[in-house]
């Protein structure tokens, strides 16, 4: 597929349903597949943030009073309009992020549609509950009340998918929002503003302020009129936001990094398991917080498993995101490419054996894509559990594979990291699955599957992977204040 040049897009903030004027300063955003600048993102200032928060505060008065079923109609309309433009959004997400187009078409954008649709359909049914207390001759009921202006800060790996997972629950509950998408992938958030306008969403309900975390992000987090913050990103930034938010006691949801284990027991059918593990280790170039980066394989099958895993990884095609056969597109940035390769080099220094991928296999890229940030699926063995690559989040297509002997042993080893986002367990013996799942200190355990998601189920992490959960019920709790009213009869 030829590399096609397109003009650079200049983004503008979206406040009170109006696209704002030019910014004094722009951040360059690169097309990872070619290494060329394709979007310029406004470096928003404190003044921009103040205007957006003011717009959201003013809009809150009416929006929070609107009956929830009327709010739901807007979300359903947004979902329909987004669905009509699925192809256009998928192309843009791929160009902006580096992921294969087929992945954006089948996962990212459909999930953004689902976010609006499912919160609109489910939340109105579960807002309130009541109970009659016979012994006191009283009727008690609860009201879930919207809180105010929410700051929604999202990362670059699943740009629209994760941002809409915050916008939809926040606004269906009656809050208004100011979003700050990642400065590296702001394009589809910008395009979403058009959809919001077309859906007729009242002004000020959703505002979009683009720019860096240090400037726009921190202004937003510390703004006194922002009552709640929903953040998805790295653990380092999550800690920083916690510190900034604490003095004002803002409500905080943190979805952070991971160092997820896959545990493969000796009774599995290797040929069935490996294709799913390929996805869990390498989908979206390994840039999914849920990707498996440590694989514990029982010693009875370690050698045949390793051989098949390596040959499957070598068969995954790395290349231009627009090609249907591409499994891994490009990493998000040159800086991230440097970080991932640095980790592989450290693994070599710490006694690891690089079985395939970076520094072992070469990439064959077509003309025009040579400067893209492509990285081959990389498999490392012979590392200690305490080694850097077994402990720190790499967030790229790199997996460390180590053997284990017993169930008890592997549980302890899998838990020995500062993160606790998710894990997967692969076994035929159901008792083993339940015992191991119960002992793992993570937010989600997938058993004989990976990343099968229902919005009805809570999502989030333990330890350094975050605080709080997202999902139909959990987001409803986060985005509302619960009040009990007791009436004597």
Using CB under 6 A, list all residues that contact ligand NAD.
153-157, 162, 180-183, 212-214, 217-218, 221, 232-234, 237, 240-241, 255-258, 289, 393, 395, 421, 461, 465-466
- Judged by CB, which is closer to ligand NAD: 182, or 381? 182
Query: Smallest Cα–Cα separation from 330: which of 210, 156, 155?
Result: 156
- Judged by CB, which is closer to ligand NAD: 428, or 453? 453
Contact 297, 305 (CB under 8 A): yes
Taking only Cα atoms into account, the Rg of the chain, rounded to an integer number of angstroms, comes to 23
What minimum distance in Å lies between the beta carbon of 299 and ligand NAD? 30
The reply to whether 255 belongs to the active site is: yes
Query: Smallest Cα–Cα separation from 230: which of 462, 469, 483?
Result: 469
Contact 260, 423 (CB under 8 A): yes
Sign of CA dihedral 260, 266, 269, 274: positive
What minimum distance in Å lies between the beta carbon of 465 and ligand NAD? 6
- Under DSSP, the state recorded for 90 is H
What minimum distance in Å lies between the beta carbon of 127 and ligand NAD? 25
- Judged by CB, which is closer to ligand NAD: 158, or 264? 158
What is d(CA 485, CA 470) in angstroms, rounded to the nearest whole number? 26
* 462-463 and 36-42 strand pairing: unpaired
- Judged by CB, which is closer to ligand NAD: 433, or 445? 445
What minimum distance in Å lies between the beta carbon of 119 and ligand NAD? 17
- Judged by CB, which is closer to ligand NAD: 346, or 363? 346
What minimum distance in Å lies between the beta carbon of 287 and ligand NAD? 8
The position carrying tokens 């791929």 is 94
Which residues, at least 6 apart from 450, have a Cβ–Cβ distance to it below 8 Å?
262, 276, 277, 279, 280, 290, 292, 424
What minimum distance in Å lies between the beta carbon of 231 and ligand NAD? 7
What is d(CA 360, CA 356) in angstroms, rounded to the nearest whole number? 6
Which residues, at least 6 apart from 55, have a Cβ–Cβ distance to it below 8 Å?
15, 16, 203, 204, 207
Instruction: Please return the burial class of 27, using the count of CB atoms within 10 Å of its CB with bins 0-12, 13-18 and 19+.
Output: buried
Residue number of the CB atom closest to ligand NAD:
213
* Choice among 255, 287, 393, 470 that is catalytic: 255
What minimum distance in Å lies between the beta carbon of 101 and ligand NAD? 20
- Judged by CB, which is closer to ligand NAD: 112, or 273? 112
- Judged by CB, which is closer to ligand NAD: 357, or 460? 460
**Exposed e or buried b for every residue in 146-185, given b needs 16+ CB within 10 A?**
bbbbbbbbbbbbbbbbbbbbbbbbbbbbbbbbbbbbbbbb
Contact 6, 30 (CB under 8 A): no
What is d(CA 430, CA 404) in angstroms, rounded to the nearest whole number? 19
Q: Please identify every residue annotated as catalytic.
A: 255
């Amino acid at each position: 597929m030829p590399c096609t040049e397109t003009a650079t897009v200049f983004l503008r903030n979206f406040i009170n349903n109006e696209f704002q004027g030019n910014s004094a300063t722009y951040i360059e955003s690169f097309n990872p597949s070619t290494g060329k600048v394709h979007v310029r993102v406004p470096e928003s200032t404190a003044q921009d943030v103040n205007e957006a928060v003011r717009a959201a505060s003013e809009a809150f008065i009416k929006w929070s009073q609107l009956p929830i079923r009327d709010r739901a109609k807007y979300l359903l309309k947004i979902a329909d309009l987004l669905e009509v433009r699925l192809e256009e959004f998928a192309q843009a997400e791929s160009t902006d992020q580096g992921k294969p187009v087929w992945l954006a078409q089948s996962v990212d954008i459909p999930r953004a549609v689902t976010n609006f649709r499912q919160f609109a359909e489910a939340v109105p049914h579960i807002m309130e509950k009541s109970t009659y207390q016979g012994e006191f001759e009283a009727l008690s009921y609860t009201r879930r009340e919207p809180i105010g202006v929410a700051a929604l800060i999202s990362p670059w790996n699943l740009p629209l998918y994760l941002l809409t997972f915050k916008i939809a629950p926040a606004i269906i509950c009656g809050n208004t929002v100011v979003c700050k998408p990642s400065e590296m992938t702001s394009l589809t958030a910008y395009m979403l503003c058009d959809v919001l306008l077309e859906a007729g969403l009242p002004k000020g309900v959703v505002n979009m302020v683009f720019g860096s975390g240090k400037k726009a992000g921190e202004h937003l987090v510390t703004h006194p009129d922002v009552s709640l913050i929903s953040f998805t990103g790295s653990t380092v930034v999550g800690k920083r936001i916690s510190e900034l938010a604490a003095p004002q006691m803002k409500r905080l949801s943190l979805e952070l990094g991971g160092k997820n284990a896959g545990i493969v027991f000796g009774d599995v059918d290797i040929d069935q398991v490996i294709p799913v593990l390929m996805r869990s280790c390498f989908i979206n170039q390994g840039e999914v917080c849920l990707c498996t980066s440590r694989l514990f394989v029982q010693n009875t099958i370690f050698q045949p498993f390793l051989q098949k895993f390596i040959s499957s990884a070598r068969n995954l095609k790395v290349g231009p995101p627009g090609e249907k056969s591409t499994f891994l597109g490009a990493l998000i940035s040159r800086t991230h490419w440097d970080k991932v390769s640095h980790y592989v080099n450290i693994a070599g220094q710490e006694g690891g054996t690089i079985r395939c991928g970076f520094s072992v296999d070469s990439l064959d890229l077509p003309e025009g894509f040579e400067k893209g940030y492509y990285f081959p699926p990389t498999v490392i063995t012979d590392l200690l559990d305490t080694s850097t690559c077994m402990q720190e989040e790499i967030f790229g297509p790199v997996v460390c594979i180590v053997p284990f002997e017993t169930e008890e042993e592997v549980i302890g080893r899998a838990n020995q990291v500062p993160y606790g986002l998710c894990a997967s367990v692969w076994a035929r013996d159901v008792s083993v699955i339940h015992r191991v799942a119960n002992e793992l200190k993570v937010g989600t355990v997938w058993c004989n599957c990976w990343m099968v998601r229902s919005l009805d189920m809570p999502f989030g992490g333990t330890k350094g992977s975050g605080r709080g959960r997202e999902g139909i019920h959990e987001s409803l709790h986060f985005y509302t204040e619960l009040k009990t009213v007791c009436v004597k009869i």
